[in-house]
Amino acid sequence: MLENLPPDTLPRLLRRTSWSALIVATIGFIVALVIDQPWAALGLVFGVFLAVMNLRFLDRQAAKVELKGEQSSKAIRRQLGSKTSGRLAVVTVIVVVALLITAPLGVGIVTGLVLYQVVFVMNVLRVVASQGGIE
C-alpha cells in the first residue's frame, strides 16, 4: 500500500506528523495545567518528545541498513528488530520509573506516546486516502 506512494511522501508524512503531534501536545499541556495536573502536563510533553526521538532513531537506523547493500531480509529484520526492542525497553523503564516517582508523570508520558501514535495513524490514513485509498 505505502510502497506505491511517491518517494517524497514519507519524509513529508513524518514531518507533518511531528508538527501535528507538537500541536496536540501543546493543547494537552494547556488542558493538563488548567485541570491542575502539572506533572501530567510535563509527562505528556516528554512522551511526545520520546515518540519523536524514537521515530528519528528509527529513520536513521533504516537509512544505515539500506546503505550496507545486499543483505537478506531476515538479517535486516534482525538488525532493525534488536535495536527497536532496545528502544522499547528503554522507554518502558522510563515510564515505570516515572510511575514510581509520581503517577501523573508516568500517565502523562504514556498519554504523550499514545497521542503521537494516534496522530501518526491519522496522517497515514489521510495520505492513503488522498492517493486513491486502499485497493
SS3 for 89?
A: helix
Cell of 125: 490514513
Burial tier of 112 (Cβ tally within 10 Å: 0-12, 13-18, 19+)? buried
Separation of alpha carbons 48 and 53, rounded Å: 9
* Contact of 18 with 55, CB cutoff 8 Å: yes
- For the chain, the structural domain boundaries read 9-130
DSSP-assigned letter for residue 70? S
pTM comes to 0.81
Read off the pLDDT of residues 23-34 as tens digits, 9 standing for 90 and up: 999 999 999 999
With vertex at residue 62, the alpha carbon angle to CA 56 and CA 65, rounded to the nearest 5 degrees, is 145
Q: What is the pLDDT of residue 31?
A: 94
Read off the pLDDT of residues 48-71 as tens digits, 9 standing for 90 and up: 999 999 888 887 777 776 555 566
Q: What is the pLDDT of residue 113?
A: 94
